[in-house]
Each structure stands twice: as structure tokens, then as C-alpha cells.
Amino acid sequence: MKSRGGGNTGTSRGNRNKKPQQKQQQQPQRKKTAREVALDTLVKVAEAGAYSNLQLNRALQDAQLSRQDAGLATELVYGTIQHQRLLDERLSELVTKGFNKLTPWVLVLLRMSAYQLLMLDRIPPHAAVNEAVVIAKRRGHSGISGMINGVLRNMERSLAELKKPLVIADPVKRIGITYSYPDWLVKRWIGSYGEAVTEQICAAGNEPPHSSVRVNPLRLSRDKASTMLAEASGGEASVEASRLSEHALIVSGAGNLAGTEGYRTGLWSLQDESSMLVAEVCAPKPGMKVLDCCAAPGGKTTHLAELMEDRGQVIANDVHPHKKQLIEEQATRLGLTSIQAVTGDAAELASKFEPNSFDVVLLDAPCSGFGVIRRKPEIKWTKSAEDVLSIAALQEQLMDEAAKLVRPGGTLVYSTCTIEREENEHQVAKFLERHSEFKLDAKWPAQVLRPLQEAHAIAEPFSGMVQLLPQQFGSDGFFIARLTRQ
């Protein structure tokens, strides 16, 4: 790729006496390609444990790619991580020696290129191979580029065979390799949901997430917001009402929604539909006193305040001091004055606030995050069964603490963005055994229950808790339970 200055570096024969360092300073830095940005991001995720979404956002801001190239880089990052196990399975058939000992960037480059060959029909195979070889030459030596060229050429010749569905008798192995999930996780889900539903969950986790906005009802109607979003994109965006939440719009083709005027002026927020249901299940009324125990970055907090018509008090707590500012910034952007952001350990909130003093307490607990794999695919490879047990122990402690703050007749809502029964249904069952003063509350707002019933996402009779799976609405996997203190 040419440098920003094209072929002319700005030097001439008369400049020969300049120091080499000065000459180098005049040469514009070569702009990275989409594939190089993706490769850099993937290497940092693999080596440093960076979150893919945060690392990619930083890389895209630095690279200033065109919209089309930014889309390609995004596709390559998420697709390569999502399909990592299948890609390794196919590559290991072609790299006969030392596959597991490859230099990290070389392994990542092979994965990223294999993803293009095996999964992306719109990219010509020769383009994927040639770009990989160019990158290898820039980063390594001729031996590495030759090896990568040979492996990918062999893959290109064998594409028809390599794209055939895997025939594996063991359902754990078949699902695990086909959809690229670790065996331990597939086995757990088969035990909880059965083989067919587990396969649906895994397939849905590899789908790109759709974008959704939460309309601020204090500023405008959902219909008006829909019109504004469509007009802002010059008619290119597709905007439709959510089935799940009456405050949500599903938006595609609008680019960066955080860059829209409506977002900057507080007309809408970015939030997944499943996450929006949490505040709606809380059903806070104007004038109430509400506590959000683990509030950052403030999506559910601000939604609670909107539902309360910004009348009453919403205390938003988070353990990290720097996240207090994030909550305050969101409140300011949306024009909400009822929110008070505080910093503290959620496991010590009962010593900070008067017992039995809140009408509604929301505990959106730390969790394994397996409901948001399509947004953070590296979770599949970084979490373990031990992590689930560890986080469940913390959740138990936080639930006991949050319960102390609910007034008699008040509401405790427990939610997670995972689909692990150990962290969800089992957690609630154990809590009820310890706290006879609490009962599950099935009297959810009608507008919340209706779409869940229509989609058969909840069992009848309804118990007061729901496990949303990613394939049901195309949203994040989420668990929500509503309990009332007797």
C-alpha cells in the first residue's frame, strides 16, 4: 500500500547531505491496512489478554480506516476469535510439524487467513493468500512468508473438502469443533439444555450482534427516534422496533451510533435489548428510592431514572472509582438529575446505607459473561469451570448483602449476562433457602411478559425468573429474577 504522500517522499538530489534521521522524519508513516489492524488486535488479545472490543476500538481510532476497511477489520477480529478451534483443526492438518510452537503473530496470521478462506465467500481466495504473504514479508523473513504461502495455497486447493461438515459421533466434540467452543463448556450446556438447544446457543454465539438503541422517553417517542435515525443516515440505515422492549430500536447500516447527534444530545443510549429488560422488570415508580449495586457504565442506572421520570433517587454504586465518572457522564448526557453515583464495594453496601431503606435494589451481578460471547468471543477461551464456581461464590455474597437493603414490600432484582444455571437459577434457589422473607415475584409488567410469552421464552406458569438465550431474539443471553420482600 502506498504511503500517504504517494510515491514522492519529498527528497531530492540536493538533500543528500541531510542526516539520515532528518530524512526519515520527512517520510510519512505508511498507513496500515485493514488486515494489519486486525492482526495487531488479535495478537494483543492472544498475548496480553486484551478485550477484543476495547482493543479493536482503540486500533480503529488510531488507524483511521475507511468505513469499508474498518468493517473488514472488525469482521476479521471477531470471526477469527469466534471460529478459532475450527480454524486450528483445519490448519493443523496442513502444518504437520510444530503447529503449537508457531510464533504468536504467525499463528494468528494463519488463523485470520484461514478464516477468510473457509468462512468468507465474498473475499477471493487469492486475495486472502496474497495479503497474508505480503504481511509476513513485512513482519518476518522469507522462510516465514514461504511457509505461510505454502500452507494457505494447500488450503485453497482443498477448500471443497475442508468446508464439508464434520462427521464426529461424540456430540461434545462435534459441536465443540464445528462452532469452536471448549469441550467443558459444551458438555455443561448439553447437561443443562440438551444437545439440540446447545447447538443453537453455540451457533447464535458466532453471529454478529445487531445494534440497538434505547430511546429516552423523557425526550422523544420511539417513532420520532426511528425517523431521526433513518434520516441521519441519509436513508441508508434500517430501523425497526424491538420485539423485546418498547423502548428499543434495532438499527443496522447506520455506522457508529455513538457518533450520532441524537446520542450526543441524550435522545437515545446504546444498549442491548435483553439488558433493557432489567430496569423494566424493576418497574420503579416516580419518587422511589432505588439502588443499583454494580452500576457502571450506567446503562441500567439511567434507564431506571428514565422510567421514574427523573423523580426520586437512584443511587448508582460501583467498586471502581474511575467508573463513577462514566455513570455521571451518562446521566449528564441524558439530562438526568436524580442519579447519585458513589464508589464502594457492593459486598459492604449494608454498612454504608440504612438497612431496609430502598424500594428497589438491583444487583446486576458480576458473572462469567457467557451470554455475550458474540460481543466478546475471547470469553470462550479465557474462562474455565473454576471461574464459574468462583464467581458464583461472589454472587452469593453480594445477594445476601443486597437483600439487607430492601424494605419490607420492596423489590430485589437479580440479573446476569450469562446462561450458566450455577450462576442463575441455582443461585436464586439457594438464596431463597437462606432468606425465607423473600419470594419470587411473577407479577412482571405486562409489556415485558407479552413478547416472552409469545416467543415461548418462559415456562407456564411463570415463576418470576427468565433465562433468555441468544438464539431466541438475536439479543444477548441474560438472566433476570424478580423477588419481593414479604
DSSP state for residue 460 in the 8-state scheme: S
Report the distance separating Cα 257 and Cα 243, nearest Å: 20
Give the count of beta carbons closer than 10 Å to the beta carbon of residue 90. 20
Which positions ≥6 away from 101 have C-beta within 8 Å? none
Q: Which residues pair with 364 in a beta bridge?
A: 415
Report the distance separating Cα 435 and Cα 403, nearest Å: 9
Whether omega before 209 lies within 30 degrees of 0, making that bond cis, reads no
The reply to whether 282 sits in an annotated binding site is no
Which positions ≥6 away from 444 have C-beta within 8 Å? 281, 283, 462, 464, 482
The reply to whether 62 sits in an annotated binding site is no
Report the distance separating Cα 122 and Cα 116, nearest Å: 9
Catalytic residue check, 282: no
The reply to whether 318 sits in an annotated binding site is yes
Please name the helix (run of DSSP H) or strand (run of DSSP E) that holds residue 41, with its range, or none.
Answer: helix 34-48
The reply to whether 299 sits in an annotated binding site is yes
The reply to whether 294 sits in an annotated binding site is yes
Between the CA of residue 327 and those of 51, 296, 476, what are the distances in Å?
Answer: 21, 6, 22
The reply to whether 364 sits in an annotated binding site is yes
Report the distance separating Cα 152 and Cα 150, nearest Å: 6
Q: Which residues pair with 148 in a beta bridge?
A: none
Contact 379, 368 (CB under 8 A): yes
| Catalytic site residue from 202, 282, 367, 417 | 417
Give the count of beta carbons closer than 10 Å to the beta carbon of residue 356. 14
Closest CA to 363 of 380, 381, 350: 350
The reply to whether 298 sits in an annotated binding site is yes
Which positions ≥6 away from 24 have C-beta within 8 Å? none
The reply to whether 202 sits in an annotated binding site is no
Report the distance separating Cα 213 and Cα 247, nearest Å: 8
Q: Which stretches within 169-298 are classed as H helix?
A: 171-179, 183-193, 195-205, 222-232, 261-264, 273-282
Give phi and psi for 374, each to the nearest 5: -65, -20
The reply to whether 253 sits in an annotated binding site is no
Helices 321-334 and 299-307: angle between axes, nearest 10 degrees = 40
The reply to whether 295 sits in an annotated binding site is yes
Which positions ≥6 away from 49 have C-beta within 8 Å? 382
Report the distance separating Cα 479 and Cα 418, nearest Å: 7
Report the distance separating Cα 262 and Cα 220, nearest Å: 10
Question: Which value, in Å, is the radius of gyration of the alpha carbons in the chain?
Answer: 25
State which amino acid sits at residue 246: E
Residue stretches of the annotated binding site? 294-300, 318, 345, 364
Residues marked as catalytic: 417
Residue stretches of the annotated binding site for S-adenosyl-L-methionine? 294-300, 318, 345, 364
